[in-house]
Amino acid sequence: MLTLDIFGFRALWSPYFFIVMLAILAVYFLLTVKYRQRFSGSTPLTVKQAVLFTAAIILVYAVKGSPVDLMSHITFYAHMIQMSILYLIVPPLLITGIPEWLWRKILAPASIQKVFRFLTKPLIALILFNGIFSIYHIPLIFDAVKTNMWLHGGYSILLFILAGLMWWPLVNKLEEYESLNGLKKVGYIFADGILLTPACALIIFADTPIYATFSDPRAWADAMHLCVPSATLASLNLSGPEMFNSMSALNDQQLGGVLMKVFQEVVYGVVLAQVFFQWYKKEQQETEAELKASRSLDPQIAE
């Protein structure tokens, strides 16, 4: 089998994308550290927030700028790993990594606030993300997006934004935007998992390869133009993804569907545990507060 080195440094490491990620990170620290005091109501950046945001940027580069991105155009399972990280892991890290005061500044304009509140309503957010995600995996749509630079870029950005909106009700720390609490968050997570299942099932249980961009040599070559310079691709004599992957197209496809479902279950399981313990802790605190209030009113209540 061939190695990815034949595609060259630019295709493997996307230096321009790396610069963009560095610029975003620089702007983040300038706003939250160096120029923070210029904003009213700002608070010092915590180590946790800085680590979460930096981790999110590193992950974005890892899946969109490193050899993982190239592999995602060659093998379907790598594509699903990329999507899992980009839409299930990065958004909650970004949301919690941006300080609350900065979110309030971003959402301050009335026009933005009105649209944002509507799009982050739990039911709306769930339907939008899972609906667009499922439509994306319809073979005709999928192959069209994977072979057109503008469609691919636009759909990727749209899915990323919708993923952020979907995660917002679960992980945001702004009290005025808290639309879910306690057991409602648990129900939200279960609903999210159920809505994502049909797309994964379509992929896992298909009897034949359903995506031409990972099984048809011509469609695959068209898709490769999105991440490899045309001159480099023209100089190589490539017949298809089988030159880089020992699995059959069907096994590759099924593995991709399984990995997506596993990622989803693990991520949602971790979030579910956090939500449950936060809810339990809050209930305990409220119970203790009520008990203290009762004792203050009636000192004879037994300890």
Query: For residue 297, is it within any domain?
Result: no
Q: Which of 31, 172, 41, 25 is nearest to 101 (CA)?
A: 41
- Please report the pLDDT score of residue 145 as a whole number: 96
Query: For residue 303, is it within any domain?
Result: no
CA distance 62 to 82: 9
Query: For residue 298, is it within any domain?
Result: no
CA distance 247 to 196: 25
Q: What is the pLDDT of residues 81-114, one digit of tens each?
A: 999 999 999 999 999 999 999 999 999 999 999 9
- Please report the pLDDT score of residue 96 as a whole number: 96
Amino acid identity at 139: P
- Please report the pLDDT score of residue 6 as a whole number: 84
Close Cβ partners of 17 (under 8 Å, ≥ 6 residues apart): 61, 64, 65
Query: For residue 38, is it within any domain?
Result: yes
- Please report the pLDDT score of residue 48 as a whole number: 97
Domain containing 84: what range?
4-289
Contact 46, 40 (CB under 8 A): no
Q: What is the pLDDT of residues 204-231, one digit of tens each?
A: 999 999 999 999 988 988 888 888 887 7
The count of C-alpha atoms lying within 13 angstroms of the C-alpha of 205, restricted to the half-sphere facing its C-beta, is: 6
Query: For residue 72, is it within any domain?
Result: yes
In this structure, what is the dihedral angle of CA atoms 96, 98, 104, 110, given to the nearest 10 degrees? -90
- Please report the pLDDT score of residue 298 as a whole number: 62
Query: For residue 294, is it within any domain?
Result: no
- Please report the pLDDT score of residue 293 as a whole number: 77
244 phi/psi in degrees, rounded to 5:
-120, -5
Close Cβ partners of 108 (under 8 Å, ≥ 6 residues apart): none
CA distance 115 to 266: 31
Query: For residue 301, is it within any domain?
Result: no
Query: For residue 299, is it within any domain?
Result: no
DSSP character for 299?
Answer: T
Taking the model in full, what pTM does it have? 0.90
Q: What is the pLDDT of residues 230-272, one digit of tens each?
A: 778 777 878 778 888 889 999 999 999 999 999 999 999 999 8
Number of domains in the chain: 1
Q: What is the pLDDT of residues 178-203, one digit of tens each?
A: 888 778 898 999 999 999 899 999 99
- Please report the pLDDT score of residue 1 as a whole number: 65
Q: Is 80 exceeded by the pLDDT of residue 136?
A: yes
Amino acid identity at 112: I
Contact 59, 85 (CB under 8 A): yes
Contact 249, 73 (CB under 8 A): no
CA distance 214 to 130: 23
The count of C-alpha atoms lying within 13 angstroms of the C-alpha of 57, restricted to the half-sphere facing its C-beta, is: 20
Find the mean pLDDT for residues 114-129.
Answer: 96
- From the centroid of its chain, how far is CA 232? 31
CB 240: neighbour CB atoms within 10 A? 17
Q: Is 80 exceeded by the pLDDT of residue 142?
A: yes
Q: What is the pLDDT of residues 271-285, one digit of tens each?
A: 988 888 887 787 787
* pLDDT band for position 301 (cuts 50, 70, 90): low
C-alpha to C-alpha distances, 131 to 23, 111, 127, 134, nearest whole angstrom: 32, 25, 5, 5
Q: What is the pLDDT of residues 20-74, one digit of tens each?
A: 999 999 999 999 999 999 999 999 999 999 999 999 999 999 999 999 999 999 9
Calculate what percentage of the chain has a pLDDT beyond 70. Answer: 97
